[in-house]
């Protein structure tokens, strides 16, 4: 019997396997940030150990950094301590760090791919659940806890039970204006937030093959939001073209050898998955969340649901609770929901293609009165590229705030936060209670929906906008 893609990558990394025990895996790339690494380094210090493979370890500052005044000392004492601790740890242990102010600084899941460090067939870990993003390149990539971070720092290996395999096959093509974000939000509402639990998921099918690398990252990013251990996509020409020429990509004969190997990283025709979900992309529409988990979503053209719309008692209760927190009334058309703040950014949708798309919609238009738009590049490189293309000028002319790189309003660990009761349309990946600030209300949306919502002030898609000059 053949093997699935994830089984191939897994098997290539097993250092030790014994019946009834988790496998010991070699880790090709270990990414670090300021939030989940301090105790891990403390553990090394206590045990008198060094970092086993600093050459396979990379750190960046992203969660606690401000997106304005980044050349000044960090004002918040907790954030400042986190960042300073990372700097000291990286200096003490010889780990490469891209700090605030460095041209390679940014969200860890944006930085790895843009440096060409993220490559097909790798095992990649980070003390961060959205490490699944890197699966877009055909890597097994997943988040780990702080004690596991310590283990990987010390040994460059990790104990892991082999997950089951699932295929998500997305047939057909996405309609014009419908994005990877709509696809993955649709999937999560279909499966629920626990639907992927215990599985490594391979996304495949025509709609997935047609996605750009950055759009594939958007899909894989949200694997954890439906409980999957990891999500990956078989590497193809789109993948190779994206990696080629990146600073850390293989060069010359090494490149040819790498691509030859990467071409073998496909699920064999006779391989069997433990489970499969089949979706049709051609029926998908702009999709937004109305609730307090990423699985509480609906097409933008629908109305806020009522608890009575659900059969399961748990779903009824969850809906009632979510509507109360979100300050929404059942039956309200989603397009009438008024939004205070729009956030374009995060490791889900903070890359250059996202900013180009947002700018293409905002060009010649203005953000609605009483609405605030924050555009936050996922990395300094993304910021500089956007500025070279004049996208910053489009954002500023539209009345948006153009910020520095970081996680920003994706989560309330830095100054970019919602006020209690404030409502956002956000291109990030989590809408939990308080995620963007205590009492804040989050609607997860695609980039086009975010941009159109900023212009109209209510949840909208570009199709709702009057033509520029019209
Ligand atoms: C802070 C970090 C551990 C966390 C994660 O694991 O994902 C964060 O990045 C998030 O998105 O919630
Ligand atoms: S952008 Fe958001 S989801 Fe991504 S790593 Fe930062 S906090 Fe986590």
Q: What is the structure's pLDDT at 1?
A: 87
Q: Is the CB of 435 under 6 A from ligand 2?
A: no
Domain boundaries, the chain: 5-275, 289-464
Residue 258 C-alpha to ligand 2 middle, in angstroms?
30
CATH of 289-464, one of 1.20.120.1200, 3.40.50.2300, 3.30.499.10, 3.55.40.20: 3.30.499.10
* Average confidence (pLDDT) over 319-338: 98
Please list the helix, strand and coil fractions of the chain in percent, rounded to the nearest 5, in that order. 40, 20, 45
Ligand number nearest to the C-alpha of 128: 1
Contact 168, 201 (CB under 8 A): yes
405 within 8 A of 383, measured Cβ to Cβ: yes
Consult the annotation and say whether 407 binds a ligand: yes
Q: What is the pLDDT of residue 470?
A: 63
| 428 Cβ inside 6 Å of ligand 2 | yes
Mapped onto helix, strand or coil, the DSSP state of residue 424 is: strand
pLDDT tens, position by position, 70-84 = 999 999 999 999 999
Q: How far, in Å, is the centroid of ligand 1 from the Cα of 129? A: 6
Mutate to test the pocket of ligand 2, among 62, 110, 225 (most ligand atoms within 8 A of CB): 62
347 is in an annotated binding site: yes
Average pLDDT of the chain, as a whole number: 98
Cα-trace Rg, the chain: 22
User: Over the stretch 219-266, which tens digit does the pLDDT of each residue have?
Assistant: 999 999 999 999 999 999 999 999 999 999 999 999 999 999 999 999
3-state secondary structure of 21: coil
The residue-averaged pLDDT of 421-430 equals: 99
Give the pLDDT band (50/70/90) at residue 39.
very high
Does 289-464 match 5-275 at the fold level?
yes
Give the DSSP H or E segment for 30: strand 29-32
Grouping H, G, I as helix, E, B as strand and the rest as coil, residue 194 is coil
Residue 33, ligand 1, Cβ within 6 A:
no
Give the ligand at the shortest distance from the Cα of 409: 2
- Alpha-carbon distance of 267 to 257, in angstroms, equals 20
**Ligand 1 atom 2: the closest Cα is on which residue?**
128
What are the pLDDT digits (tens) for 88-142?
999 999 999 999 999 999 999 999 999 999 999 999 999 999 999 999 999 999 9
CATH number of 5-275: 3.30.499.10
pTM of the model: 0.98
Q: Looking at ligand 1, which residue's alpha carbon is closest to its atom 8?
A: 128
The answer, yes or no, to whether ipTM is higher than 0.85 is: yes
Distance of alpha carbon 341 from alpha carbon 125, whole angstroms: 33
Nearest in space to 349 (alpha carbons), one of 130, 51, 82, 173: 130
């Amino acid at each position: 019997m053949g093997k699935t893609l994830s089984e191939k990558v897994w098997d290539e990394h097993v250092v030790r396997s014994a019946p009834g025990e988790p496998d010991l895996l070699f880790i090709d790339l270990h990414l670090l940030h300021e939030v989940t690494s301090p105790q891990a380094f403390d553990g090394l210090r206590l045990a008198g150990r060094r970092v086993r493979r600093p050459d396979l370890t990379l750190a960046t500052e992203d969660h606690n950094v401000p997106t304005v005044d980044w050349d000044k000392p960090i004002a918040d004492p907790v954030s400042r301590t986190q960042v300073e601790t990372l700097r000291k740890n990286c200096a003490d242990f010889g780990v490469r760090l891209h700090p605030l102010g460095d041209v390679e600084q940014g969200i860890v899941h944006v930085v790895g791919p843009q440096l060409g460090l993220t490559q097909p067939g790798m095992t990649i870990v980070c003390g961060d659940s959205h490490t699944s993003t890197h699966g877009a390149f055909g890597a097994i990539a997943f988040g780990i806890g702080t004690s596991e971070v310590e283990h990987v720092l010390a040994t460059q290996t990790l104990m892991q039970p082999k997950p089951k395999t699932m295929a998500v096959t997305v047939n057909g093509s996405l309609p014009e204006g419908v994005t990877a974000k709509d696809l993955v939000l649709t999937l999560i509402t279909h499966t629920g937030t626990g639907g992927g639990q215990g599985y490594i998921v391979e996304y495949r099918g025509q709609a997935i093959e047609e996605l750009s690398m950055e759009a594939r990252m958007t899909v894989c990013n949200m694997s954890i939001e439906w409980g999957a251990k990891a999500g990956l996509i078989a590497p193809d020409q789109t993948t190779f073209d994206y990696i080629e020429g990146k600073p850390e990509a293989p060069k010359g004969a090494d490149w040819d050898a790498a691509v030859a190997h990467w071409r073998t990283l496909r699920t064999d025709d006779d391989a069997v998955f433990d489970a499969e979900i089949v979706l049709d992309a051609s029926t998908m529409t702009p999709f937004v969340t109305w609730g307090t988990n990423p699985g509480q979503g609906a097409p933008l053209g629908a109305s806020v649901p009522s608890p009575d719309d659900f059969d399961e008692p748990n779903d009824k209760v969850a809906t009632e609770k979510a509507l109360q927190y979100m300050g929404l009334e059942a039956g309200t058309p989603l397009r009438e929901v008024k939004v205070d703040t729009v956030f374009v950014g995060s490791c889900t949708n903070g890359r250059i293609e996202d900013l180009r798309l947002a700018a293409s919609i905002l060009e010649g238009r203005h953000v609605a009165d009483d609405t605030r738009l924050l555009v936050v590049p996922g990395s300094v490189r993304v910021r500089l590229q956007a500025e070279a293309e004049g996208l910053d000028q489009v954002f500023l002319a539209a009345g948006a705030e153009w910020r520095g790189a970081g996680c920003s309003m994706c989560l309330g660990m830095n100054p970019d936060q919602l006020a209690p009761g404030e409502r956002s349309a956000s291109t990030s990946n989590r809408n939990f209670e308080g995620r963007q600030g205590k009492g804040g209300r989050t609607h997860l949306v695609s980039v086009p929906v975010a941009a159109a919502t900023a212009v109209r002030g209510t949840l909208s898609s570009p199709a709702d906008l009057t033509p520029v000059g019209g």
